[in-house]
Amino acid sequence: MNGKPSEYGTGIYKRGKQLWIKFYQNGEELWEPTHTTKVTIAKRLRDVRLAEVAQGKFINLGIQKVTFDMLATDLEQEYISRRRRSLKRLRISIQHLRNFFGGNRASSITTDRVRAYIIKRQKKVDDPTINRELATLKRMFNLAMQSTPPKVQQKPYIPMLKENEPRKGFFEHHEYRAVRDQLKGHLKIICTVGYFTGMRDQEVLKMEKSWVDLMEREINIPAWAAKNGTARSVPLNDELFRMLSFQMTQRPDNPLMFCKPDGSKIGGFRCAWKAACREAGYPDKLFHDFRRTAARNMSRAGVPETVIMAIIGHKTRSMFDRYNITSKEDKRNAMEKLTEYVNLKASEPVVKAEIGQQLTIGNV
pLDDT in tens, the chain (364 residues): 444 545 566 788 887 788 888 888 667 677 777 888 888 888 888 888 888 878 776 655 555 678 999 999 999 999 999 888 789 999 999 999 999 999 998 888 999 999 999 999 999 999 989 999 999 999 999 998 887 667 777 789 999 998 776 667 889 999 999 999 999 999 999 999 999 999 999 999 999 999 999 999 999 999 988 888 889 999 999 999 999 999 999 998 999 999 999 999 998 999 999 999 999 999 999 999 999 899 888 888 888 888 888 898 887 777 666 665 565 666 677 777 777 877 787 776 554 555 555 555 455 4
Q: Does this model's pTM top 0.75?
A: no
At residue 3, the pLDDT reads 45
At residue 334, the pLDDT reads 74
Half-sphere exposure for 244 (CA within 13 Å, toward CB): 27
In the sheet with 18-25, reading across from the earlier edge strand, the strands are 12-15, 18-25, 28-33
β pairing state of 18-25 and 28-33:
antiparallel
Q: Classify residue 153 as exposed, middle or buried by CB count within 10 Å of its CB (0-12, 13-18, 19+).
A: middle
At residue 360, the pLDDT reads 52
Percentages of the chain per state (helix, strand, coil), in multiples of 5: 55, 10, 35
| Per-residue exposure over 230-249, b if at least 16 CB sit within 10 Å of its own CB, e if not | eebebebeeebeebbeebee
At residue 10, the pLDDT reads 78
At residue 152, the pLDDT reads 79
